[in-house]
Each structure stands twice: as C-alpha cells, then as structure tokens.
C-alpha cells in the first residue's frame, strides 16, 4: 500500500505510457482510475465507459500528478480511447448479487468483453490486456479467441487479473499467523472462481507451518476461495468487491508497466494461456517483461492438500474455458 501512496514523487525518467480503463465510471473503474492517476508509470490515462466518464475524468484530472487524463463516452469514442494504449484494463460488466455465481454473469459480460477486446484488436493490438470482468475463467479465453479471429492474438499480451486472490490470501494468512502483512507472500494458482482459486500456503513466505495446523490451512483456503462471496454478501445486493479490486488492479497494471519498462524480476500470479497443466489457461506465477508474459513458472512442490485441490479444480476450470471459447467461436 505504501507503494501506491509514494507514487507521485518517483516518476522522473520513466518512458511515456498510455493506460486505458474500460468501464471507468463503475464501482471498480472509478477508484482504479484514481489509483492509475497516482501511478508514476502512467503519462496518459484514457477513461472510457458507455456513459459518465466526462465527470469521472474531470474529477480525476484535477489531481496534481503526472498523467494527462481524458474521458471518452460511448462506442464512437472507444477507438480514440484505445489508440496508442500500452495497457488496457477492463473492469466493464455487471457484478454479482447474493446467490449468484460468477458464471451467472457470463450471459451479459461475455458479449461486453468480446466487443471491447475486438476494439482493442483493431486499435491497439500490441497493448497488454488486463481482464477483470467476470467470469475471468471464461472472459480470458473469449478475449484470446476474439483476437485470434482478428489475426492479432499474442498470448503474451492477454492477462486475467487474479491479484485480488493473492491480496486476500496474504491478508488472511498474515492475520492468522500473526505476521507483518507487508512481508508476506502467498502464491495463488488455478483460476478465479470458487474452488478454482487455489492458494499455496505451503509455499507462503515467511513459512508459518509451526503456527498453523491442517484445520487452519483448510479454513484459510476456503476463506480465500470465498473472499468474493464474503464481500457480495456484506454488500447485500449493492455489488461485489470494488475498492480492494481497484487496489489489486492497480498493483497488477503497475507490474505490467514495470515489465514493459524493462524492470527485471517483475513476477505476479496471473491467469494466462499456459502449458503447465492440461488446461489451456491457468493462473500461476509469471514473469512480466517488455512483451508481457516472459516466463511462466511451474507450480513447485505442492502439499497433499494442495494436490487434491488441484485435482478438484481442473474439471470446472476446463469447462469454463470451453464455454468461453465456444461463445467466441459461435459469435463470429
Ligand atoms: P459496476 O456495475 O459498478 O461497473 C461496471 C461498469 O462497466 C459500469 O460503469 C458500466 O457502465 C460499464 N460497462 C458496461 N458495459 C460496458 C461496455 N460495453 N463498455 C464499457 N463499459 C461498460 O461493476 P463493478 O463492481 O465495477 O464490477 C465490474 C466487473 O468486475 C464485474 O464483472 C465483476 O464481477 C468484476 N470483478 C472482478 C474481480 C476480479 O478479481 N477479477 C473483482 C471484482 C469484480
Ligand atoms: C471477487 O473475487 O471479489 C470478484 O470476482 C467479484 C465476485 O463476484 O466475487
């Protein structure tokens, strides 16, 4: 968190970078736009939504940090918003209400993501896409298929944002083990829905195995998997995580920008085209570089509990991927 606050002071000498936020007037879009305005890595910030962005852009633009801000509203302004973008962050789409799964959002969000990614393929085919819209397990395959159809797919540049799962796992683990949360790291692999979210507490740093028993690890795993639902229920019909997601989205976009700028050793968990399992998309630790995904790391050694979790998540993950691919192909 201190990194986000320290932003404005450390921006000298960085290359110019344009970031576009699609869905910028929404619950995630607004705080995310604020955080990207504070990023030292951003020189131009394009805020796009179907409506409401002139107000958000005017508001955010008064902040005395480097990025020049412009609002774009309505489809006829989408191309202009995307032109020259290095990173496009997509939190456009409807959020869950209590009782819904992320997959229940597919009907509406699949088409939204497909249309927005099509525009990215036309106007900024080299941009890194950060896909937040749910169900991420399906919207990332939709994005990939859509770009393939346009002949501009580069699997290194399409990234599903799972950073909120990592943020949650770190918070819950540090709290339970009595650790300084700023020094904690927990890889989270798989996908971004229920059991497909698999935190690897056996690989957490620092190791707190002497403080946590099997029941603790089971409870931490389930809380991480149900973190989104915990917020949906607490908001009681008013949507899902927006503030913690904006924080996580800004962390991830910054990591992408640092990679593009040539910073060495930028590693984040993200849901990408992958061969580390037999699912065509999978989230794991990924090194980000000048062209996006530079290296995908394997899963490392898993505990017996995690190995079971991995086995259990594969059918749902494969099914969600297939559903996304089928949708993108049907809608050609
Ligand atoms: P919201 O309803 O508050 O905002 C969504 C915004 O998208 C609105 O401003 C809406 O106008 C805009 N939008 C709709 N169609 C659009 C289009 N065609 N082009 C551009 N903008 C469009 O919702 P929210 O709370 O911000 O959540 C957005 C999405 O993010 C949901 O699908 C939610 O499930 C997802 N989400 C993902 C994660 C994650 O970890 N990946 C976390 C939280 C939420
Ligand atoms: C989350 O994890 O908070 C998001 O995917 C939103 C949701 O529907 O849970």
pLDDT of residue 240: 98
Residues listed for the chain: 332
Residue 112: strand, helix, or coil: helix
Sequence ranges of the binding site for substrate = 96, 102, 134, 168
State the 10-residue block means of pLDDT for the chain, 332 residues long: 48 90 98 98 98 98 97 98 99 98 98 98 98 98 98 98 98 98 98 98 95 97 98 98 98 98 97 98 98 98 98 98 96 67
Q: Is 232 in the pocket of ligand 2 (CB under 6 A)?
A: yes
Q: Atom 5, ligand 2: which residue's CA is nearest?
A: 228
- 60-84 in b/e form (b: 16+ CB < 10 A) is beeeebbbebbbbbeeebbeebbeb
Spatial separation of the C-alpha atoms in residues 185 and 176, rounded to whole Å: 14
pTM: 0.97
- Quote the strand ranges of the chain, DSSP E: 18-22, 44-49, 68-73, 87-90, 128-131, 158-160, 188-190, 197-199, 266-273, 281-289, 292-296
Where is the binding site, in residues? Answer: 23-29, 49, 96, 102, 109, 132-134, 168, 245
DSSP symbol at 185: B
Pocket test for ligand 1, best of 78, 104, 132 (most atoms within 8 A of CB): 132
Task: Check residue 11 and give its pLDDT.
Answer: 60
Quote the pLDDT of residue 209.
87
By annotation, the residues acting in catalysis are: 192
Counting ligands in written order, the one closest to the CA of 248 is 1
- Write down the pLDDT at residue 60: 98
Residues 301, 204: Cα–Cα separation, whole Å: 12
77 in Cβ contact with 48 (< 8 Å): yes
Structure token pair of residue 56 = 């958000």
Q: Is 31 in the pocket of ligand 1 (CB under 6 A)?
A: no
pLDDT, residue 327, reads 97
């Amino acid at each position: 968190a201190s990194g986000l606050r320290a932003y404005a002071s450390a921006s000298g000498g960085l290359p110019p970078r344009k970031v576009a936020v699609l869905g910028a007037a929404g619950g995630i879009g607004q705080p995310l736009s604020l955080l990207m305005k504070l990023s030292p890595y951003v020189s131009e910030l394009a805020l796009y939504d179907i409506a409401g962005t002139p107000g958000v852009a005017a508001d955010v633009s008064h902040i005395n940090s480097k990025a020049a801000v412009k609002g774009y509203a309505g489809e006829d302004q989408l191309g202009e918003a995307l032109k020259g973008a290095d990173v496009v962050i997509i939190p456009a789409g409807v959020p869950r209400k209590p009782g819904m799964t992320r997959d229940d959002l597919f009907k509406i969000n699949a088409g939204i993501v497909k249309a927005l990614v099509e525009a990215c393929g036309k106007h900024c085919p080299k941009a890194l896409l950060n896909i937040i819209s749910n169900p991420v397990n399906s919207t990332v395959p939709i994005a990939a298929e859509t770009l393939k159809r346009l002949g501009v797919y580069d699997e290194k540049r399409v990234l599903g944002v799972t950073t909120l799962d990592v943020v949650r796992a770190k918070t819950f683990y540090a709290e339970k083990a009595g650790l300084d949360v700023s020094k904690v790291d927990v890889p989270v692999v798989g996908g971004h829905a229920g059991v497909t979210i698999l935190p690897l507490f056996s690989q957490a740093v620092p190791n707190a195995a002497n403080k946590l028993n099997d029941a603790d690890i089971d409870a931490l795993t389930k809380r991480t998997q149900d973190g989104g639902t915990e917020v949906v229920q607490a908001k009681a019909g008013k949507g899902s995580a927006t503030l913690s997601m904006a924080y996580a989205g800004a962390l991830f976009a910054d990591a992408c920008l640092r990679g593009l700028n040539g910073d060495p050793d930028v590693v984040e968990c993200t849901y990408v085209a992958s061969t580390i399992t037999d699912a065509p998309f999978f989230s794991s630790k990924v090194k980000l570089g000048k062209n996006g995904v530079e290296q995908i790391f394997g899963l490392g050694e898993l505990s017996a509990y995690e190995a079971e979790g991995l086995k259990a998540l594969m059918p749902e993950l494969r099914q969600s991927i297939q559903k996304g691919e089928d949708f993108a192909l049907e809608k050609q």
